[in-house]
Amino acid sequence: MQKASDRYPKTIYVDGSELSNGRYQVTIDNVPVALRPVSFKLFSLLSWHCRFGSPAHCGWIYNLELDPFDHTARYLFRLRTEIQPVIGWLWRVYENNYVGYYRLYARPKSITLNLDNLKVFPDSAVSALVSTVS
């Protein structure tokens, strides 16, 4: 089993465009990735907190904020398995502090979010968070 790389992606673009197959677009190091709606929701929330979250929290988000039914670990594993084969290298995708908090394994300045698309994303957790930005 290969170990995930400690390398960070150079660019992450959370587009949020819905594709014809019901998936949503993100781009990692200029490679487009189509994510399932649940995976896209988690990736968007992790990206948001990494980029715009409170400096005191350093991008950490509690697992029940990601998924209120406590399926976070399963969904994050699925997210990683959707991303890694497409981008061609073993990116960690997220970190876990083992007390219920997760954060995106990325540099905040490398993340760009398409706020217009995220405001109309069907999940209210994403659209409400993005609506707080003026």
Q: What is the 3-state secondary structure (H, E, C) of 13-66?
A: EEEEEECCCCCEEEEECCEEEEECHHHHHHHHHHHHHHHHCCCCCCCCEEHHHH
The pLDDT of residue 132 = 84
Q: What pLDDT is recorded for position 119? A: 93
pLDDT band at 9 (very low <50, low <70, confident <90, very high): very high
* 3 within domain boundaries: no
The one-character DSSP state at 69 is T
Distances (CA, A) of 120 to 3, 26, 109, 125, 129: 37, 16, 24, 11, 11
Tokens 């290298």 -> residue: 89
Rg (CA), the chain: 14
pLDDT at 4: 76
**Nearest alpha-carbon partner for 59 in 103, 6, 106, 15:** 103
Residue 71 above 70 pLDDT?
yes
Tell me, yes or no, whether 7 lies in a domain.
no
CB hemisphere CA count around 75 (13 angstroms) = 21
pLDDT reported for residue 20 = 92
Q: Is residue 52 part of a domain?
A: yes
Contact 118, 44 (CB under 8 A): yes
62 domain residue, yes or no:
yes
Q: Which domain holds residue 61?
A: 12-131
Give the pLDDT confidence of 16-65 residue by residue, as tens digits: 999 999 999 999 999 999 999 999 999 999 999 999 988 888 999 999 99
- Classify residue 6: in a domain, yes or no: no
Question: Which tokens hold the place of 50?
Answer: 């990494």
Distance CA 22, CA 20 (A): 6
**CA angle, 95 then 47 then 17, to 5°:** 135
> What is residue 62's predicted lDDT score, i.e. its pLDDT?
95
In a domain, 65, yes or no: yes
Looking at the 3D structure of the chain, how many domains does it have? Answer: 1
Per the domain annotation, does 2 fall within a domain? no
Give the pLDDT confidence score for residue 110 in this predicted structure.
Answer: 97
- Residue 43 counted as domain residue: yes
